């Protein structure tokens, strides 16, 4: 019987303790910020509205000293964060092609890439190249594997790149019949 009385006293004590605890409290206030989220931004370069593979921009035959031309290419950052647009002339390959009798240098590789000049412009302000500086001028061979920053390209912005080419009048018969091929690669890197 002592056990029953002891158990009853214990239960009554616990009940009294619980009731007292429930009525005893400090002031309090709680605020909650729910649904915190991070999402990564995107860089998505479109060249003339396209992704890889891009078209061939130059397929010019019968080039002679004094010839020149130009190509304008639209770059668009279809992403949500700004970046730096870059151009990379790479995989330059010179070959002799045909060697007619007047050509003075018939040894491989060909010489056309040594003389063919590219001028690369970037329309950073979107004003049609009115106030923009020339980014680089060099012979194709010297541009091989050079990654050249063009300028910033903000989220949703479109800017043009212009590539002028010229074979100077001073070039002699060394380039007659020669061929040069190269790739043009565009990239966009986080600013």
Kindly report, residue by residue over 5-33, the tens digit of the pLDDT: 766 777 777 766 666 555 556 899 999 99
The helix or strand, by DSSP H or E, that contains position 180, with its residue range, turns out to be strand 179-190
Q: Respond yes or no on whether the N-terminal peptide bond of residue 107 is cis (omega within 30° of 0).
A: no
**Rounded Cα gap, residues 110 and 95, in angstroms:** 4
Helix (H, G, I), strand (E, B) or coil at 113: helix
Give the CA diameter of the chain: 129
Mean pLDDT, residues 144-160 taken together: 95
Q: How long is the chain?
A: 191
CB 74 within 8 A of CB 114: no
The pLDDT of residue 100 is: 77
Work out the pLDDT band at 178, boundaries 50, 70, 90.
very high
pLDDT of residue 41: 95
pLDDT at 191: 83
Residues 155-166 have pLDDT tens digits of 999 999 999 999
Of residues 182 and 132, the one with the higher pLDDT is: 182
> Nearest-CA neighbor of 110 among 184, 176, 183, 182?
176
The model's pLDDT over 92-140, given as tens digits with 9 standing for 90+, comes to: 999 998 877 776 767 778 899 999 999 999 999 989 888 868 999 999 9
Q: Which fold has domain 45-190?
A: Immunoglobulin-like (2.60.40)
DSSP H/E element including 19: helix 2-23
C-alpha–C-alpha distance, residues 34 and 179, integer Å: 65
13/42: higher pLDDT: 42
Average pLDDT over residues 137-158: 96
Checking DSSP bridges between strand 68-77 and strand 179-190, what pairing results, if any? Answer: unpaired
* Phi, psi angles (nearest 5°) of residue 14: -65, -40
pLDDT exceeds cutoff 70 at 1: no
What are phi and psi for residue 166, nearest 5 degrees?
-155, 140
In the chain, where are the structural domains located? 45-190
Q: What is the mean pLDDT of residues 45-72?
A: 96
More confident residue, 174 or 105: 174
Q: What is the pTM of this model?
A: 0.80
Residue 58, exposed/middle/buried by CB under 10 A (0-12, 13-18, 19+)?
A: middle
What's the pLDDT score for residue 181?
97
For residue 22 the two structure tokens come to 């429930």
How high is the pLDDT of residue 172?
86
Percent of the chain predicted with pLDDT > 70: 91
Element (H, E) at 45: strand 45-47
Distance (Å) of CA 38 to CA 41, 136, 154, 156: 10, 40, 21, 21
């Amino acid at each position: 019987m002592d056990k029953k009385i002891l158990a009853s006293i214990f239960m009554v004590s616990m009940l009294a303790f619980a009731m007292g605890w429930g009525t005893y409290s400090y002031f309090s206030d709680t605020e909650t910020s729910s649904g915190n989220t991070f999402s990564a931004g995107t860089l998505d370069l479109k060249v003339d509205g396209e992704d890889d593979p891009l078209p061939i921009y130059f397929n010019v035959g019968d080039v002679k000293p004094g010839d020149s031309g130009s190509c304008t290419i639209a770059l668009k950052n279809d992403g949500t964060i700004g970046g730096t647009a870059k151009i990379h002339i790479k995989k330059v390959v010179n070959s002799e092609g045909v060697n007619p009798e007047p050509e003075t240098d018939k040894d491989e590789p060909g010489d056309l890439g040594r003389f063919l000049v590219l001028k690369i412009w970037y329309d950073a302000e979107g004003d049609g190249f009115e106030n923009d500086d020339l980014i680089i001028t060099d012979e194709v061979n010297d541009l091989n594997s050079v990654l050249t920053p063009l300028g910033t390209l903000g989220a949703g912005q479109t800017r043009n790149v212009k590539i002028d080419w010229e074979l100077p009048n001073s070039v002699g018969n060394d380039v007659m019949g020669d061929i040069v091929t190269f790739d043009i690669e565009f990239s966009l890197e986080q600013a």
